[in-house]
Chain A
Amino acid sequence: MNESTTGSRDVPSGADPADALSEIWTLRLYVAGQTPKSITAFANLKTLCEEHLAGRYRIEVIDLLEQPQLAAGDQILAIPTLVRKLPEPVRKIIGDLSNTERVLIGLDLLPRAED
C-alpha cells in the first residue's frame, strides 16, 4: 500500500476485453497524504477493479500534498475522490469506496436506480 502515496502511477493489467467496454479504463484517485481513508480507498479500489475490470484498467494515484496544482483541474474538493477519466463521460466518486455497490453504480458498472 505504500506505493499508493508516491504520486501518479500506472497499474496496467493484461488486456482482456470481456464485454462492450473493451477500452482501457483510466481511473484517477486523488488523496492528500497517507491517511487511513486514502489507504482504505486505494485498497477498496484495487479489489474492485480486479473483480470487475481485471486486465483493462489503469489507476493513477495523485497525492495533492505533493501536487496541489492538480486539484483544480479535476475540480477536487473531497478527499478521497476517484475520477473515471476514461471511458467518457467523466465520473466522480467521493469517499473511501467502502460502499462497493455505490462505487459500481458511480462507475456505471451497475445500472443506476430509477430514482
Chain B
Amino acid sequence: MDPAPAQLPKSPTGIDGLDEITGGGLPTGRPTLVCGDAGCGKTLLAMEFLVRGATQFDEPGVFMAFEETTQELTRNVASLGFDLDDLVERRQLALDFVYIERSEIEETGEFDLEGLFVRLGYAIDTIGAKRVVLDTIESLFSGLPNPLILRAELRRLFRWLKDKGVTAIITGERGAGLLTRQGLEEYVSDCVILLDHRVENLISTRRLRVVKYRGSTHGTNEYPFLIDEHGLSVLPVTSLGLEHTASEERVSTGIPRLDAMLSGAGFYRGSSILVSGTAGTGKSSVAGHFAEAACRRGERVLYFAFEESPSQIQRNLRSVGIDLAPWVRQGLLEFKANRPTFTGLETHLATMHKTIHTFGPRIVILDPLNSFISATNEIEVKSMLMRLIDFLKLNQITGFFTSLTMGGSALDRTDAGISSLSDTWLLLFAVETGGERTRALSILKSRGMEHSNQNREFLITSHGVQLRDVYLGPGGVLTGSARLAREAEDTAERLARQQEIDLRRRELERQRALMDAQVAAIRAEFEAREAETLALIEREQGREAQLARERVEMAWSRKADAAPTVAEDPS
C-alpha cells in the first residue's frame, strides 16, 4: 500500500536475532504491538527493548506498567542481568506503575484519559525518552468503565505517541480469534509481533512471528526464541538466505584412508557431513576421529551429544585409542549433552545457536541427529536442521552429524530427509556373512569432489578406526574373516596353478632333451653309414681303374692296333 521508501527508519532492539528478522529493528517513531498469551515473554521483550536502547543505543525509555509494580518489575528482570534501579538513577529509564482498581472507581459522566497522557508525557520529557513501553494497556479495559471512550482514547494515544516521535511497544494479551483481547491491532497497524508459547508432546517452545510490518520486508516465519540469563534471543537469525560462500579449504577426517577416499584431502570446510548407519557401526568413532584431528590442528570443536554423557563418550572413544580429555582440558573441545526431550526442538536449536555463538567453534558435531525425531515431527526436525545447517554454513563451521538408521529400513534412508541437506554422506553398515558381522564404509555422495566409490572394510581397533580394502573378486564382496578365508583360498589356488605350470614346463624340457638325444643317435648312425658307403664307393672306383689299366697292358702285349679296341670287349 505504501509507496515504501527505500528504507524505513528503524530502531534496533538490541535483542539477538530480532533485528535480523525485522531488517533492523522496530519502526522508529511508531508504535509496535507485541501480543501473545500470558507468560509468553511480552514484558521481557519490551523491557529488553528499553534496557538495550538505554545501554546500547543511547535512547532513554519509559516503561509504563499496568500489571506489575515497579518493584516487581525490577526484581523480575534482575534475573536477566538488568539493573533497572541503576538505569533509573542515571535517568536512562523511567518506570511508572499505573494502578487501576475497578472497584475503587466510580464513573459519573464524561471523562477522557488525559491523565495518562500527562503522566506519560511528563515521564518522556523528564528523561528525554525515545522509547516507550505500555505493558499491558488493555488492563485499562478491565480497570475503567466505558469501553467506547477507552477505544477513542487509545486511538488518540497511539496518534499522540506518533506525534511525540517515540518508538513504542504496546503489549496485548491474545484474545479469542483476535491477536489481542480488545483488537488493538486495529489501532497499532505499523508493526505487529506475535509471541507464542506452545506445548507439543509435553515440550514447550517459545516462538516469535512478525505478523505485519508495514513498509518493510521481514521474515515471516515463526522463529523460536529463548529467555535465559542474558535476556531474549530469537533464533535462528540466518536462515533467511542461501548466500553462504563455499570454501575450497579442506579439513582432514582424522582417518588417513578416509581422506584418501575423499580425493585425498577430506571434507570441505564449512560443509555438512552426515554419517549414517545402523546401531554399532562406529558412527561415534568416526566423529571422535574428526574431533580429535580438528583439535590437533588447534580448532575449536563443539560436540552436542544427545544420547550419551560426555564422560561416556570419552571413555568409549578412549577404548578405540582416541583420547579427547587433553583437548577438553585445553578448552578446544566442549561437550554439550542434553536429552532430546529436555526441551522442544526449537529451544534445542536456539540453545545450540547460542552455544555456538559464545564458543565459536570451527566444527560442530551432533551425535546423533535423529534422536530428535518422534512419530509426528519429521517436518519440523527437517526445518530445524535446515536452519541449523544454514547457520553453520554461513559461519563457515563444518557440521558433522551422525544418524542412526533403524534396523530393517533401507540403509540409504535417513529420517527427515536429512541426506539432502548434507554435502558429504558416509554410510556405515554391517555385513553379515559366515556367522559374523563386520563393518563397512562407503561414500554415498560427496558434493564437489571426486571420491572413491568403493566400499571399504571398516575396522575399529584399539588404536583407532582403520579402513581396509574389501575382497573384490569373482566370489563377490567379502569382509572380515570371510575376506581373510577367501584371500587364503585365493593364495592356495594361485600356488597350485603355479606348480602346475612349473610341472608342465619341466616335462617339456625333459621331452626336449629326449628328442635331442634321439636326434643325436640318428645322426650318429647316419654318419656311420655315410662313412661306410663312401668307403665302399671309393673301393669300387679303385677296382674299376685297376681293371682298365690291366686291359691296356694286355692289349699292348698282343700288339693290338689301337687303343679304341679297348671298347671292344673280346668276350
- Let me know if B109 and A95 touch, CB within 8 A: yes
Chain B residues close to A by CB (< 8 Å): 96, 98-100, 104-119, 121-122, 140, 144
Residue of B nearest to A80 (CB): B111
Query: Closest CB of chain A to B111's CB: distance in Å?
Result: 4
A79 to B107, CA, bound (A): 11
Nearest first, the 4 A-B pairs at minimum CB distance are: A106-B106, A68-B122, A95-B109, A98-B109
A78-94 CB contact bits vs B (8 Å, 1 = yes)?
A: 11111000000011111
- Let me know if A69 and B122 touch, CB within 8 A: yes
Query: Closest CB of chain B to A93's CB: distance in Å?
Result: 5
Which residues of A have CB within 8 Å of B119? Answer: 68, 71-72, 76-77
Which residues of B have CB within 8 Å of A68? Answer: 118-119, 121-122
- Let me know if A93 and B115 touch, CB within 8 A: no
Residue among B98, B108, B110 with most chain A CB within 10 A: B108
Instruction: Knowing A79-B111, A94-B111, A105-B106, say if A72 contacts B116 (CB, 8 Å).
Output: no
Which residues of B have CB within 8 Å of A106? Answer: 106, 108
- Let me know if B105 and A94 touch, CB within 8 A: yes
- Let me know if B98 and A65 touch, CB within 8 A: no
- Let me know if B110 and A98 touch, CB within 8 A: yes
Which residues of A have CB within 8 Å of B107? Answer: 93-95, 99, 102
In this assembly, does A59 line the interface, its C-beta being within 8 Å of a C-beta of chain B? no
In this assembly, does A27 line the interface, its C-beta being within 8 Å of a C-beta of chain B? no
| Contacting residue for A97 out of B109, B115, B144, CB 8 A | B109
Within 8 A of B (CB), among A50-70: 64-65, 68-69
Interface magnitude class on chain A: 35 or more
A76 to B119, CA, bound (A): 8
| Contacting residue for B115 out of A44, A81, A103, CB 8 A | A81
| Contacting residue for B106 out of A33, A40, A94, CB 8 A | A94
A95 to B140, CA, bound (A): 15
A81 to B112, CA, bound (A): 10
Residue among A41, A78, A105 with most chain B CB within 10 A: A78
- Let me know if B109 and A96 touch, CB within 8 A: yes
Residue among B96, B117, B119 with most chain A CB within 10 A: B119
A99 to B107, CA, bound (A): 8
- Let me know if B118 and A32 touch, CB within 8 A: yes
- Let me know if A32 and B115 touch, CB within 8 A: yes
In this assembly, does A75 line the interface, its C-beta being within 8 Å of a C-beta of chain B? yes
In this assembly, does A46 line the interface, its C-beta being within 8 Å of a C-beta of chain B? no
- Let me know if B105 and A65 touch, CB within 8 A: no
Which residues of B have CB within 8 Å of A25? Answer: none
Query: Closest CB of chain A to B265's CB: distance in Å?
Result: 69
Which residues of A have CB within 8 Å of B117? Answer: 32
Instruction: Knowing A77-B98, A77-B100, A77-B140, say if A64 contacts B106 (CB, 8 Å).
Output: no
A-B residue pair count with CB separations less than 8 angstroms: 101
Query: Closest CB of chain B to A7's CB: distance in Å?
Result: 14
Query: Closest CB of chain B to A74's CB: distance in Å?
Result: 9
Which residues of A have CB within 8 Å of B114? Answer: 32-33, 64, 78-79
- Let me know if B108 and A78 touch, CB within 8 A: no
A71 to B111, CA, bound (A): 15
A30 to B96, CA, bound (A): 18
Please name 7 pairs of A and B residues whose Cβ atoms are closer than 8 Å in the assembled complex, sorted by A.
Answer: A44-B109, A68-B118, A68-B122, A79-B113, A90-B104, A99-B109, A106-B106
Which residues of A have CB within 8 Å of B99? Answer: 75
A5-31 CB contact bits vs B (8 Å, 1 = yes)?
A: 000000000000000000000000010
Query: Closest CB of chain A to B407's CB: distance in Å?
Result: 67
Residue of A nearest to B126 (CB): A69
A98 to B340, CA, bound (A): 64
Q: 10 new A-B pairs (CB below 8 Å) besides A40-B109, A68-B118, A106-B106?
A: A40-B110, A71-B119, A72-B119, A77-B113, A78-B113, A93-B105, A94-B106, A94-B111, A98-B110, A102-B108
- Let me know if B115 and A96 touch, CB within 8 A: no
Which residues of B have CB within 8 Å of A30? Answer: 115
A93 to B144, CA, bound (A): 11
A115 to B112, CA, bound (A): 26
Query: Closest CB of chain A to B145's CB: distance in Å?
Result: 8
- Let me know if B112 and A91 touch, CB within 8 A: no
A75 to B116, CA, bound (A): 9
- Let me know if A77 and B116 touch, CB within 8 A: yes
- Let me know if B108 and A99 touch, CB within 8 A: yes
Query: Closest CB of chain A to B203's CB: distance in Å?
Result: 41
A44 to B110, CA, bound (A): 12
A71 to B112, CA, bound (A): 14
Which residues of A have CB within 8 Å of B121? Answer: 68
Which residues of B have CB within 8 Å of A99? Answer: 107-109
Query: Closest CB of chain A to B151's CB: distance in Å?
Result: 14
Query: Closest CB of chain B to A9's CB: distance in Å?
Result: 19
Instruction: Knowing A32-B118, A71-B119, A77-B98, say if A96 contacts B105 (CB, 8 Å).
Output: no
- Let me know if B144 and A78 touch, CB within 8 A: yes
Residue among B115, B117, B140 with most chain A CB within 10 A: B115
- Let me know if A78 and B112 touch, CB within 8 A: yes
- Let me know if B122 and A98 touch, CB within 8 A: no
| Contacting residue for B122 out of A37, A71, A91, A105, CB 8 A | A71
- Let me know if A64 and B118 touch, CB within 8 A: yes
